[in-house]
Homo-oligomer: A and B are copies of this chain.
Amino acid sequence: VGKPVFSSDRYYDEPPVGVAMGLAWTELGGQTLYIECTSVPELKSEAGTLRCTGQMGDVMKESSTIAYTYAKRFLRDADPQNEFLQRTSIHMHIPEGATPKDGPSAGITMTCAILSLAMNKPLRNNVSMTGELTLTGKVLPIGGVKEKTIAAKRSMITEIVFPKANQKDWDELPSYIKDGVTPHFVDTFQDVYKVAFP
């Protein structure tokens, strides 16, 4: 209390493989946050597993599980040859490590980070996103559209992925907040994928 819960610094000029930028909503306003995924070198891996760090709360941990299951299914359909997620264990981290984080709205961001790693393909630059993911790929609305938009602009983000059900919140924002940002309203993760990857 008294200092920003999330850092607003950009760590990366261009997102590396396995990293996606999300938007969080705190009592002190919006914040950008990075979801980082890497593979864990192992001698033999019979089955891929996911471990998480970054002081995630219970709801956010469940979000990571949903993202992981969904990413496996998405990749199986999009590229059946790619067995990365079945063979490799993944570590997901959300800096800063000392900051407790929670909530379901990083769902689509986590899924993009996992897929970026599995496909060895970085996300488009200057895109940030927020949205809860269901197990079937529906994107559910989130809170804090205004605060998240301000935070995104502070981090030089020019495109934001929002759930379709949040379009009414966006429409109500004054122009000076919306200026310079292109919103993308998505209904399913398929829509997210088209915006997030080049």
A contact residues vs B (CB 8 Å cutoff):
7, 9, 11-12, 16, 18-19, 34, 36-44, 46-47, 51, 53-55, 58-59, 62-63, 65-66, 69-70, 72-73, 75-76, 83, 85-87, 91-93, 95-98, 103-104, 107, 132, 134-136, 138, 140, 165
Contact = CB atoms under 8 A, between A and B. Distances in A.
Contacts of A53: 62, 65-66, 135
A156 B33 CA distance: 38
Nearest to A34: B134
A69 B54 CA distance: 14
B47 A54 contact: no
A65 B73 CA distance: 23
Given A12-B136, A42-B86, A43-B86, 6 more contacts: A16-B136, A37-B135, A40-B69, A59-B97, A66-B97, A97-B104
A47 B41 contact: no
Contacts of A38: 69-70, 73, 135-136
B55 A62 contact: yes
Nearest to A138: B11
B69 A91 contact: yes
Contacts of A135: 36-38, 53, 91-93
A131 to B, nearest CB: 11
